[in-house]
Amino acid sequence: MTMFSDPECIHSHRVRLILAEKGIQAEVESCDPDNKPEDLIQLNPSNSLPTLIDRDLVLYDARVVVEYLDERYPHPPFMPIDPVSRARTRLALFRIESDWYSFLPSLDAGGESRTTAGMQLAESLTAASDVFSVMPYFLSEEFSMLDATLAPLLWRLNHYGIVLPNAAAPVTEYAKRVFARPGFQASLSDVERELG
């Protein structure tokens, strides 16, 4: 199994986090997004990162890759077993991606848009603080796909200059718990270690 990964990309980080948390042996090839290897260009028609190669299977899009890894390596499960809970988790993933991840393009753009997006993301996370305090992990007693999606975002807050207020203490405590996990630490690229 080989994963082509951008060492700075949040989506690549999500996949590396799942690989590390599940203890999946994979060769992770760090790629410069502006100078991708010829192998990747030939394998993936969208020429995007992350891309996972497992024998004859080529997968791209972080959500597709992480769900495949969870089904292919079911222990520990990062998605619920029953269909109703699984659907609720998928809906929560959709909300995280469409609400909180939607700030990333503006944060990466810098300038005034970065400042505005940073304030809006901080406000949104603070408004959700109660959800972070209910269980040890996000909406769960155990580490799940939701945490593998949230943790890379929270890790980048410092890089974007986002300081959460005291009212967001449950979010900060949650982040500390997740960041302390050996799997999370193993998932970080050298570039990402500098971000946090």
Say which residues have a Cβ less than 8 Å from residue 3's Cβ, sequence separation at least 6.
12, 15, 16, 19, 26, 27, 28, 29, 50, 51, 52, 53, 65
The whole-number pLDDT of residue 39 equals: 83
Read off the pLDDT of each residue in 48-76 and give the average, rounded to a whole number: 95
For residue 95, pLDDT over 80 is answered with: yes
152 backbone dihedrals φ, ψ, rounded to 5°: -60, -35
Q: Looking at the chain, how many residues does it have?
A: 196
> What is the rounded distance in angstroms from the CA atom of residue 56 to the CA atom of residue 137?
35
Strand-pairing partners, residue 49, are none
For residue 185, pLDDT over 90 is answered with: yes
pTM: 0.94
> What is the rounded distance in angstroms from the CA atom of residue 168 to the CA atom of residue 114?
20
User: Residue 50, preceding bond cis, omega within 30 degrees?
Assistant: yes
Kindly state the percentage of the chain with pLDDT values over 90: 90
